[in-house]
Amino acid sequence: MMKEKPVILVVEDDAAVRQGVVDALSFSGYEVISAADGRDGIKLALTASYQLLLLDLVLPHFSGFEVLEALRKERPGQPVIILSARGEEADLVKGLTMGADDYVVKPFSVREMLARVDAVLRRSSEREVGQSVFNFNGGRVDFSRREVCMESGGRKELSERESDLLRYLISNKGRAVAREELLQRVWRIDPKNIETRTIDMHVAHLREKLGDEGQNVVVTVRGKGYMVG
């Protein structure tokens, strides 16, 4: 566990929602920094020192998607929870596909938000536990560095979500893991409310980074899901 109080960045343009989130987090012992629009939000997201970002998707100047895109390039693996309004399911799926860890739907209870925050921070601190290297035909994955190292000399960085996805499949080696299970155990979200194409997109990205052997490392089991053979 982190010894210092985790710092949380809140980017939300609704003043009442933003203040409520900031107050609840501060009262629970977190240090909080905040921004009221996408311009200040993207600046803080890329330069500030923090452990978790709570991000509204609809923002003035820069959208939450633009913030996520910038994070993916500059700070891959940064834990993010989306603050989503009801009726934005398509946007929610897009945000999760772009690397967000979790979401809460407005209006949300303080208890629910704090539970999500605690879960994401806990997973982030535990990610280094377990198998650190995975060898496959043509290369290896270094989970501590979130990096694919090819025997040919090439290197590619894995996103935090791609790393978690591969690690979970490896921990269930030889068993086909359903998309719904991956949403529950890796994404930690209810599969009933989310379209599962986000899993397929992450698998496609992961295979690409694993090179020519990617299709053989992460195998599609028709009608069941994915597995590492």
For 70-129, the pLDDT digits (tens) are: 998 888 778 999 998 876 778 888 888 888 988 999 989 999 999 999 988 887 766 544
What does the pLDDT look like over 125-142, one tens digit per residue? Answer: 665 445 588 999 999 999
- Of 87, 102, 126, which one is at a domain's C-terminal end? 126
Alpha-carbon distance 141 to 172, whole Å? 17
- For the chain, the domain total comes to 2
Residue 2 placed within a domain: no
1: pLDDT confidence band, cut at 50, 70 and 90?
A: very low
For the question of whether the overall pTM of this predicted structure is more than 0.75, the answer is: no
Alpha-carbon distance 85 to 32, whole Å? 22
For residue 65, with 0-12 CB atoms within 10 Å meaning exposed, 13-18 middle and 19 or more buried, which class applies?
middle
Please tell me whether residues 121 and 149 are part of one structural domain.
Answer: no
Tell me the average pLDDT of the chain. Answer: 88
Pairing of strands 52-56, 80-85: parallel
Size of the chain, expressed as the number of residues it contains: 229
What is the domain range of residue 152?
Answer: 133-228
CATH no. for residue 182? 1.10.10.10
Residue with tokens 């600046």: 43
Please tell me whether residues 74 and 141 are part of one structural domain.
Answer: no
What does the pLDDT look like over 7-43, one tens digit per residue? Answer: 999 999 999 999 999 999 999 999 999 999 999 999 9
Residue 196 placed within a domain: yes
Please tell me whether residues 59 and 92 are part of one structural domain.
Answer: yes
Residue 1 placed within a domain: no
Please tell me whether residues 213 and 139 are part of one structural domain.
Answer: yes
**pLDDT value for 229:** 74
Please tell me whether residues 110 and 145 are part of one structural domain.
Answer: no
The first and second tokens of residue 92, run together, are: 């929610």
Residue 26 placed within a domain: yes
How far CA 1 is from CA of 4, 28, 131, 158, in Å, comes to 9, 16, 19, 24
Kindly give the interhelix angle for 110-126 and 15-27, rounded to the nearest 10 degrees. 60
CATH no. for residue 99? 3.40.50.2300
Please tell me whether residues 75 and 106 are part of one structural domain.
Answer: yes
Q: What is the mean pLDDT of residues 49-65?
A: 94
- Of 73, 101, 126, which one is at a domain's C-terminal end? 126
Residues 6+ apart with CB under 8 A from 80: 52, 53, 54, 55, 68, 71, 99, 100, 101
